[in-house]
Amino acid sequence: MYEEYLELAVRMAREAGKIHLTYFRGGDLAIRTKSNVSDVVTRADRESEALIVRMIAERFPDHAVLGEEGGTRGDAHGEWLWVVDPLDGTTNYSQGLPVFTVSIALQHRGETVVGVVYAPYLDELYTATLGGGARAGRMEGAQHPIRVSEKRVLGEAVLATGFPYDKVTNPDNNADNLARILPRTRGIRRYGSAAYDLCCVAAGFLDGYWELALHVWDVCAGELIVREAGGAVRSLREDRGVSIVAGNETLIGEMLQYVR
Protein backbone atom coordinates (compact mmCIF):
# COMPACT_ATOMS: atom_id res chain seq x y z
CA MET A 1 0.00 0.00 0.00
CA TYR A 2 2.88 2.37 0.76
CA GLU A 3 5.27 0.84 -1.79
CA GLU A 4 5.91 4.00 -3.83
CA TYR A 5 6.91 5.87 -0.66
CA LEU A 6 9.05 2.99 0.58
CA GLU A 7 10.80 2.84 -2.78
CA LEU A 8 11.64 6.57 -2.59
CA ALA A 9 12.79 6.26 1.03
CA VAL A 10 15.16 3.40 0.14
CA ARG A 11 16.50 5.37 -2.84
CA MET A 12 17.13 8.40 -0.61
CA ALA A 13 18.84 6.21 2.00
CA ARG A 14 21.11 4.74 -0.68
CA GLU A 15 22.13 8.21 -1.92
CA ALA A 16 22.60 9.61 1.61
CA GLY A 17 24.75 6.58 2.44
CA LYS A 18 26.98 7.35 -0.54
CA ILE A 19 27.53 10.87 0.84
CA HIS A 20 28.38 9.44 4.29
CA LEU A 21 30.96 7.09 2.79
CA THR A 22 32.51 9.83 0.63
CA TYR A 23 33.78 11.72 3.68
CA PHE A 24 34.03 8.88 6.25
CA ARG A 25 37.52 8.59 7.81
CA GLY A 26 38.70 11.47 5.64
CA GLY A 27 40.10 14.82 6.68
CA ASP A 28 37.37 16.93 5.13
CA LEU A 29 34.45 16.55 7.58
CA ALA A 30 34.06 20.28 8.44
CA ILE A 31 33.08 19.34 12.02
CA ARG A 32 31.20 22.01 14.02
CA THR A 33 29.57 21.89 17.46
CA LYS A 34 25.85 22.53 18.01
CA SER A 35 24.19 22.70 21.48
CA ASN A 36 27.49 22.00 23.31
CA VAL A 37 30.93 20.47 22.84
CA SER A 38 29.47 16.91 22.78
CA ASP A 39 26.97 17.69 20.01
CA VAL A 40 28.67 17.80 16.60
CA VAL A 41 27.60 18.14 12.99
CA THR A 42 29.61 17.45 9.83
CA ARG A 43 29.29 18.27 6.15
CA ALA A 44 27.90 14.74 5.64
CA ASP A 45 24.91 15.55 7.92
CA ARG A 46 24.19 18.77 6.05
CA GLU A 47 24.72 17.44 2.53
CA SER A 48 22.65 14.28 3.10
CA GLU A 49 19.73 16.26 4.49
CA ALA A 50 19.86 18.71 1.55
CA LEU A 51 19.84 15.79 -0.90
CA ILE A 52 16.90 14.07 0.82
CA VAL A 53 14.88 17.29 0.93
CA ARG A 54 15.58 17.83 -2.77
CA MET A 55 14.54 14.29 -3.71
CA ILE A 56 11.27 14.57 -1.76
CA ALA A 57 10.46 17.95 -3.32
CA GLU A 58 11.07 16.56 -6.83
CA ARG A 59 8.77 13.57 -6.34
CA PHE A 60 6.16 14.87 -3.86
CA PRO A 61 6.24 18.69 -3.93
CA ASP A 62 3.26 18.97 -1.54
CA HIS A 63 4.88 16.82 1.21
CA ALA A 64 6.43 18.54 4.25
CA VAL A 65 9.80 17.57 5.74
CA LEU A 66 11.10 17.74 9.30
CA GLY A 67 14.87 17.28 9.27
CA GLU A 68 17.29 17.47 12.19
CA GLU A 69 19.58 19.99 10.55
CA GLY A 70 17.12 22.23 8.69
CA GLY A 71 13.91 22.02 10.75
CA THR A 72 10.53 22.08 9.04
CA ARG A 73 9.96 22.73 5.34
CA GLY A 74 6.33 23.01 4.25
CA ASP A 75 3.25 22.52 6.44
CA ALA A 76 4.20 20.12 9.26
CA HIS A 77 0.50 19.74 10.06
CA GLY A 78 -0.45 18.85 6.50
CA GLU A 79 -1.32 15.36 5.28
CA TRP A 80 2.21 14.01 4.64
CA LEU A 81 5.34 14.62 6.72
CA TRP A 82 8.77 13.08 6.19
CA VAL A 83 10.82 12.86 9.39
CA VAL A 84 14.53 12.67 8.63
CA ASP A 85 17.74 12.20 10.57
CA PRO A 86 20.27 12.52 7.75
CA LEU A 87 23.08 11.02 9.87
CA ASP A 88 22.29 9.33 13.17
CA GLY A 89 25.47 8.59 15.07
CA THR A 90 27.47 11.68 14.18
CA THR A 91 29.81 11.24 17.15
CA ASN A 92 30.78 7.79 15.84
CA TYR A 93 31.02 9.14 12.31
CA SER A 94 33.29 12.02 13.28
CA GLN A 95 35.57 9.59 15.17
CA GLY A 96 35.79 7.06 12.33
CA LEU A 97 33.64 4.49 14.19
CA PRO A 98 31.49 2.33 11.87
CA VAL A 99 27.99 2.51 13.42
CA PHE A 100 26.06 5.39 11.82
CA THR A 101 22.83 5.46 9.85
CA VAL A 102 20.41 7.55 7.86
CA SER A 103 16.87 7.38 9.24
CA ILE A 104 13.85 8.28 7.09
CA ALA A 105 10.19 7.99 8.10
CA LEU A 106 6.96 9.09 6.47
CA GLN A 107 3.91 10.07 8.50
CA HIS A 108 0.40 10.24 7.07
CA ARG A 109 -1.92 12.42 9.19
CA GLY A 110 0.41 11.93 12.16
CA GLU A 111 0.78 8.16 11.85
CA THR A 112 4.09 6.65 10.74
CA VAL A 113 3.51 4.54 7.63
CA VAL A 114 7.05 4.00 6.28
CA GLY A 115 10.36 3.58 8.12
CA VAL A 116 13.79 3.09 6.55
CA VAL A 117 17.12 2.96 8.38
CA TYR A 118 20.36 2.33 6.50
CA ALA A 119 23.84 1.85 7.96
CA PRO A 120 26.04 2.39 4.87
CA TYR A 121 29.39 1.26 6.25
CA LEU A 122 27.87 -1.98 7.53
CA ASP A 123 25.59 -2.14 4.47
CA GLU A 124 22.57 -3.03 6.63
CA LEU A 125 19.14 -1.86 5.45
CA TYR A 126 16.04 -2.08 7.67
CA THR A 127 12.57 -1.21 6.37
CA ALA A 128 8.94 -1.36 7.44
CA THR A 129 5.55 -0.24 6.21
CA LEU A 130 2.49 0.06 8.42
CA GLY A 131 0.77 -3.34 8.45
CA GLY A 132 3.33 -4.72 5.98
CA GLY A 133 5.94 -6.13 8.37
CA ALA A 134 9.62 -5.34 8.84
CA ARG A 135 12.51 -6.52 6.68
CA ALA A 136 16.28 -6.37 6.57
CA GLY A 137 19.06 -7.12 4.11
CA ARG A 138 21.90 -5.59 2.12
CA MET A 139 21.06 -2.49 0.06
CA GLU A 140 21.44 -4.37 -3.23
CA GLY A 141 20.35 -7.81 -1.97
CA ALA A 142 17.16 -9.63 -1.03
CA GLN A 143 15.22 -8.42 2.02
CA HIS A 144 13.97 -10.95 4.58
CA PRO A 145 11.40 -10.57 7.37
CA ILE A 146 12.75 -9.79 10.85
CA ARG A 147 11.35 -10.51 14.30
CA VAL A 148 12.13 -9.25 17.82
CA SER A 149 13.75 -11.55 20.37
CA GLU A 150 11.53 -13.85 22.43
CA LYS A 151 13.69 -13.81 25.56
CA ARG A 152 11.68 -13.36 28.74
CA VAL A 153 14.41 -13.22 31.39
CA LEU A 154 16.40 -10.03 31.99
CA GLY A 155 19.44 -12.00 33.14
CA GLU A 156 19.74 -13.50 29.64
CA ALA A 157 19.11 -10.21 27.85
CA VAL A 158 21.62 -8.00 26.02
CA LEU A 159 20.37 -4.41 25.99
CA ALA A 160 21.51 -1.10 24.54
CA THR A 161 21.17 2.46 25.74
CA GLY A 162 22.67 5.90 25.21
CA PHE A 163 23.42 9.10 27.10
CA PRO A 164 22.03 12.57 26.37
CA TYR A 165 24.10 15.47 24.99
CA ASP A 166 23.26 17.60 28.06
CA LYS A 167 24.86 15.00 30.38
CA VAL A 168 27.54 17.51 31.41
CA THR A 169 25.09 19.98 32.90
CA ASN A 170 22.10 17.75 33.72
CA PRO A 171 22.62 15.01 36.32
CA ASP A 172 19.45 13.30 35.02
CA ASN A 173 21.72 11.61 32.48
CA ASN A 174 20.78 7.88 32.57
CA ALA A 175 23.79 6.89 34.71
CA ASP A 176 21.40 5.96 37.56
CA ASN A 177 19.38 3.69 35.28
CA LEU A 178 22.54 2.05 34.00
CA ALA A 179 23.82 1.41 37.53
CA ARG A 180 20.50 -0.22 38.53
CA ILE A 181 19.97 -2.43 35.50
CA LEU A 182 23.54 -3.37 34.46
CA PRO A 183 24.08 -6.09 37.11
CA ARG A 184 20.77 -7.75 36.19
CA THR A 185 21.52 -8.21 32.46
CA ARG A 186 23.81 -10.38 30.35
CA GLY A 187 25.32 -7.20 28.94
CA ILE A 188 24.78 -3.59 27.92
CA ARG A 189 25.94 -2.01 24.65
CA ARG A 190 26.25 1.65 23.59
CA TYR A 191 26.30 1.73 19.80
CA GLY A 192 25.81 5.48 19.37
CA SER A 193 22.91 5.50 16.90
CA ALA A 194 19.41 5.33 18.35
CA ALA A 195 18.01 4.35 14.95
CA TYR A 196 20.47 1.46 14.73
CA ASP A 197 19.71 0.36 18.31
CA LEU A 198 16.01 0.14 17.45
CA CYS A 199 16.73 -1.86 14.28
CA CYS A 200 18.90 -4.28 16.27
CA VAL A 201 15.92 -4.76 18.63
CA ALA A 202 13.65 -5.35 15.62
CA ALA A 203 16.04 -7.99 14.23
CA GLY A 204 16.51 -9.70 17.62
CA PHE A 205 20.23 -8.84 17.75
CA LEU A 206 19.48 -6.85 20.90
CA ASP A 207 16.78 -7.96 23.35
CA GLY A 208 15.88 -4.45 24.48
CA TYR A 209 16.83 -0.77 24.40
CA TRP A 210 16.05 2.33 26.38
CA GLU A 211 17.17 5.94 26.14
CA LEU A 212 16.18 9.38 27.45
CA ALA A 213 16.05 12.80 25.78
CA LEU A 214 15.93 11.72 22.15
CA HIS A 215 14.20 13.57 19.31
CA VAL A 216 11.47 12.42 16.98
CA TRP A 217 13.91 12.11 14.03
CA ASP A 218 16.08 9.67 16.03
CA VAL A 219 13.25 7.19 16.57
CA CYS A 220 10.43 7.72 14.08
CA ALA A 221 11.56 5.11 11.51
CA GLY A 222 13.03 2.72 14.09
CA GLU A 223 9.84 2.62 16.15
CA LEU A 224 7.77 1.48 13.18
CA ILE A 225 10.42 -1.13 12.33
CA VAL A 226 10.30 -2.52 15.90
CA ARG A 227 6.49 -2.61 15.97
CA GLU A 228 6.26 -4.26 12.57
CA ALA A 229 8.79 -6.84 13.79
CA GLY A 230 6.37 -7.81 16.56
CA GLY A 231 7.92 -5.68 19.29
CA ALA A 232 6.73 -2.73 21.33
CA VAL A 233 8.03 0.77 21.97
CA ARG A 234 6.75 2.58 25.07
CA SER A 235 7.27 6.09 26.37
CA LEU A 236 9.39 5.98 29.54
CA ARG A 237 8.48 9.44 30.76
CA GLU A 238 7.11 12.73 29.47
CA ASP A 239 9.51 15.23 31.04
CA ARG A 240 12.73 14.41 29.15
CA GLY A 241 12.19 14.81 25.40
CA VAL A 242 11.46 11.55 23.62
CA SER A 243 12.31 8.88 26.22
CA ILE A 244 11.59 5.30 25.20
CA VAL A 245 11.94 1.65 26.04
CA ALA A 246 11.76 -1.02 23.31
CA GLY A 247 11.70 -4.81 23.15
CA ASN A 248 9.13 -7.55 23.49
CA GLU A 249 6.30 -6.82 25.96
CA THR A 250 7.67 -9.15 28.65
CA LEU A 251 11.20 -7.73 28.64
CA ILE A 252 9.89 -4.17 28.59
CA GLY A 253 8.02 -5.04 31.80
CA GLU A 254 11.27 -6.36 33.33
CA MET A 255 13.28 -3.32 32.21
CA LEU A 256 10.71 -0.91 33.63
CA GLN A 257 11.50 -2.17 37.13
CA TYR A 258 14.95 -0.56 36.87
CA VAL A 259 14.85 2.27 34.30
CA ARG A 260 12.82 5.45 34.51
Binding site for ligand IPD (CB under 6 A): 85, 88-91, 162, 164, 192-194, 211, 214, 218
Q: Which residues contact 157 (CB under 8 A, 6 or more apart)?
A: 149, 151, 185, 186, 207, 208, 247, 251, 254
By CB under 5 A, name the one of 85, 211, 223, 228 that touches Ca ion. Answer: 85
When CB distances to ligand IPD are compared, the closest residue is: 162
Binding segment toward Ca ion, per CB under 5 A, in 31-39, 78-86, 108-116, 143-151: 78-86
Q: By C-alpha distance, which of 108, 106, 133, 136 is closest to 221? A: 106
**Residue 104 or 125 with smaller CB distance to Ca ion:** 104
CB 103 within 8 A of CB 84: yes
Rounded to a whole number of angstroms, the minimum distance from the CB of residue 152 to ligand IPD is 27
State the helix-helix crossing angle for 194-202 and 216-228, rounded to 10 degrees.
Answer: 0
Rounded to a whole number of angstroms, the minimum distance from the CB of residue 142 to Ca ion is 28
Rounded to a whole number of angstroms, the minimum distance from the CB of residue 193 to ligand IPD is 5
Q: Among ligand IPD, Ca ion, none, what binds residue 38 when CB lies within 5 to 8 Å by partner kind?
A: none
Q: Which residues contact 142 (CB under 8 A, 6 or more apart)?
A: none
CA-CA distance, 40 to 27, in Å (whole number)?
15
Residues engaged in binding Ca ion (CB under 5 A): 68, 85, 87-88, 218
